[in-house]
Amino acid sequence: MILPRTPSLRLDGRRALVTGAGRGIGLALAACLAEAGAAVTLVARSAAEIDAGAAAIRTAGGAADAAVLDVTDLDAVADFFGDRPAFDILVNNAGTNRPKPMLDVTRDDYDAILDLNVRSAFFVAQGAVKAMVAAGVRGNLIHVGSQMGHVGGPDRSLYCASKWALEGMSKAFALDLASHGIRSNTIAPTFIETPLTAPYFADGAFKASVLTKIKLGRLGTVEDLMGAVVFLASDASAMITGTSLVVDGGWTAD
């Protein structure tokens, strides 16, 4: 009897791009892809952060380089993808948030959140895909969404709007790109402890309100996302496209 074999979680020989990779979730996802064998390019606006991140990955035995890119500059995005070989994996992670009540949202808030979380994500994905299709690469798009792309949240009208949009975009990408062998999925984390979220959790009442919704009883960590991204990037998820891997400790199970 010949038993079936589990598809590999290794990413050897593949090239990965992670946006917003200078710290927090983006840096962790770059590290896990490199640990799985991918050659990773870290992208962000801050050269110091991504240079340090890439150096740390190389010290740990991985392959990594850094490229300064403002993903809101769409001409720069187009030039970036035109100047290098196609990537096999894109992790569309760059994003932002400005929590405030809907009545207090300004046009500047709207532009800042929707431009980065939706507009930039779309055109980064488009640039990556054009290169994949031209090179015949059966690639993989992973967009970092949020549990707030599946539910609503107080003081997060714009953030929810952007993350729900990302979910719809990814599903449509999956349909458009299936014939090219390119997959598109999201991961949807709960609140993750990072330098960006630390100020929010300094408010004890806010932290307590969050923990009442996370059924596993703790905040998420970047490590909670690393296995999910390696899975979606690998052959182990070869039949998965157009869906969302919700990493929320049970928040959306209610």
Name the residues annotated as catalytic: 159
Each residue of 219-240: b (16+ CB within 10 Å) or e? bbebebbbebbbbbbbeebeee
- Give the chain's count of helices (H) and strands (E): 9, 7
Q: HSE, CB side, 13 Å, CA atoms: give it for residue 40.
A: 36
Look at residue 35 and give its three-state secondary structure: helix
**91: phi then psi, degrees, rounded to nearest 5:** -110, 105
147-167 in b/e burial notation, b at 16+ Cβ within 10 A?
Answer: bbbbbeeeebbbbbbbbbbbb
Structure tokens at 104: 């207090």
Q: Tell me, what amino acid is at 180?
A: H
In what side-by-side order are the strands of the sheet with 63-68? 63-68, 39-44, 15-19, 89-92, 140-144, 183-189, 244-247
Report which secondary-structure segment, H or E, holds 245. strand 244-247
Rg of the chain taking only CA atoms, in angstroms: 18
Give yes or no for a contact between 19 and 26, defined as CB atoms under 8 angstroms apart.
Answer: yes
